[in-house]
Amino acid sequence: MNTSLAKKCNKEPFTVTEISVILKQLIERSFQLVKIKGEISGVKKASSGHIYFSLKDNRAVINAVCWRGTSLKLPVQIEDGLEVICFGEISSYPMRSNYQIIVKNIVLGGQGVLIKLLEKLKQQLAEEGLFNIERKKTIPKIPQRIGIVTSAQGAVLQDIIHRIKDRYPVNILLWDVIVQGNQAALLIANAINKFNNLPRNILPPDVIIVARGGGSIEDLWAFNEEIVARAVADSDIPIISAVGHETDTTIIDLVSDLRAPTPTAAAELATPLLTNLVANVSKAQRNLQKSLLNFYRLQGLYLKNTLGKLSQENLMFKKNEFRVQNSRERINKTLLQLLKFNNFRYKSLKLSLQLLYKAYDNKKVLLAKYHKNYDELWQRLFNHKNNILQTYDKVLTSYSYKNILQRGYAIIRSSDGKLIKHSKDKKLHSQIECEFHDGKILGTFSSKVLQKTKKTKATSETK
């Protein structure tokens, strides 16, 4: 604090704003760039893209903020529980009288944290099936073009190119990327995607080699990033991974279609050995020549046997030709006789048919005559029987009891339909039915009527 400031302290008090500004200036001048190691907690991502969190150890906590532009470039994703080292500057926030670190960069705080993150990502990708053998593509045996994703400045590229030229020279497409650092994973993933989406005028590679030399887990971390693993999984072109030494295992090794222990081994796995191909072609050529000679020899023997059989067949053909000629003459003679016989039968059948037509016409005339006589006889019989029937009908009508009913008489029946002929045939008050010429009525016997007509003819009276 300078002298004027000291004199001011002695004379009059500071305002809150003045003291806050003084403290802010002191803190920012004293801690322009610091490294703080701690555990991330309370991560909050604002809609603006800024990230707010805290760094803590077992005894203290400090607030931290990472602006949106910085957060997009960080090599580490900010998550609760990570042990990290934050690079930045200390600043204060006068409105709340607290201080915080404005983060410029973040690295993981130890190898144990890296291993923890690696195992977590392995488990996630394994559950999604990215490590399954059945999804891995077959490496072409004789590629025409090989794509390489690596650094153009490294010795790895030269090792791969030399081994390919020694074994089987093919066209090589290089995608130069950095293989270490914050942007390495993004560039590697982008290179793989670009190889799969080349312009139509550029033929794509048949296989891609993703390679890098050995190093620590931090050096190889770009090949453990999720963005690289998913780019490899989504590639339509088979991918050989060749990252680090044989003892180094990264995520890309598990997702790729084939893992090579070294970049040089990747070149060997991607190409056949030209000398072996030449030897195989020479051997195949010799075998083909041998097979052709044997084929021609066998065909010559077959042709000789066929010619011998053909001579025998020719002799038999001549014999059969003579037999056929004789058979033809016999057949022609037989056919001529058969034709004459059938012609005679045809004429006989034609004459018989004419006779049948004439007999049919005679029978038809006779049948018509019989039919006419039958109709006349049937009509006379019908008229006779009808006259008899009418006579019987008149007799029956004259004898019908209904004619008697028309003269004032009635018929009395019991309830069960039996005819009542005497007064004693029915008990008093029982139900009766009286039939007249124009209909029927129901009634009962009356006891008074029966007493008066006891000695006379009984009649019934209806109520």
What is the average per-residue pLDDT within 366-387? 84
What does the block give as tokens for 409?
């008489």
Higher pLDDT, 194 or 373: 194
Q: What are the pLDDT digits (tens) for 39-61? A: 888 899 999 999 999 888 777 88
Which architecture characterizes domain 143-272 according to CATH? 3-Layer(aba) Sandwich (3.40)
Q: Supply the CATH classification number for the domain 3-109.
A: 2.40.50.140
In the predicted structure, residue 463 carries a pLDDT above the cut 70: no
In this prediction, residue 191 carries a pLDDT of 94
| Mean pLDDT estimate for the chain | 82
Per-residue pLDDT band for 437 (boundaries 50, 70, 90) equals confident
In the predicted structure, residue 348 carries a pLDDT above the cut 90: no
Q: What are the pLDDT digits (tens) for 127-139? A: 889 889 999 999 9
Return the DSSP state at 51: E
Which helix (H) or strand (E) segment holds residue 275: the answer is helix 274-399
What is the average per-residue pLDDT within 401-418? 78
Higher pLDDT, 114 or 447: 114
Residues 78 and 113: their CA atoms lie apart, in Å, by 13
Per-residue pLDDT band for 430 (boundaries 50, 70, 90) equals low
Ranges of beta strands (E only) in 12-82 are 34-45, 51-56, 61-66
Identify the weakest region by mean pLDDT among 36-45, 215-224, 226-235, 292-301.
Answer: 215-224
Residue 149 vs residues 59, 162, 228, 357: alpha-carbon distances, Å: 47, 16, 12, 107
In this prediction, residue 458 carries a pLDDT of 42
Higher pLDDT, 9 or 389: 389
Per-residue pLDDT band for 196 (boundaries 50, 70, 90) equals very high
What does the block give as tokens for 302?
């077959």
Q: What is the pTM of this model?
A: 0.47
Q: What are the pLDDT digits (tens) for 298-318? A: 888 888 888 877 877 777 877
Per-residue pLDDT band for 449 (boundaries 50, 70, 90) equals very low
In this prediction, residue 259 carries a pLDDT of 92
Identify the weakest region by mean pLDDT among 62-71, 248-257, 364-373.
Answer: 364-373
In this prediction, residue 452 carries a pLDDT of 43
Short-list 212, 16, 14, CA closest to 95: 16
* Domain locations in the chain as residue ranges: 3-109, 143-272, 274-398, 400-463
Cβ neighbours of residue 286 under 8 Å, at least 6 residues apart?
none
Cβ neighbours of residue 24 under 8 Å, at least 6 residues apart?
91, 92, 94
In this prediction, residue 447 carries a pLDDT of 55
What is the average per-residue pLDDT within 156-179? 91
In this prediction, residue 197 carries a pLDDT of 93
In this prediction, residue 454 carries a pLDDT of 43
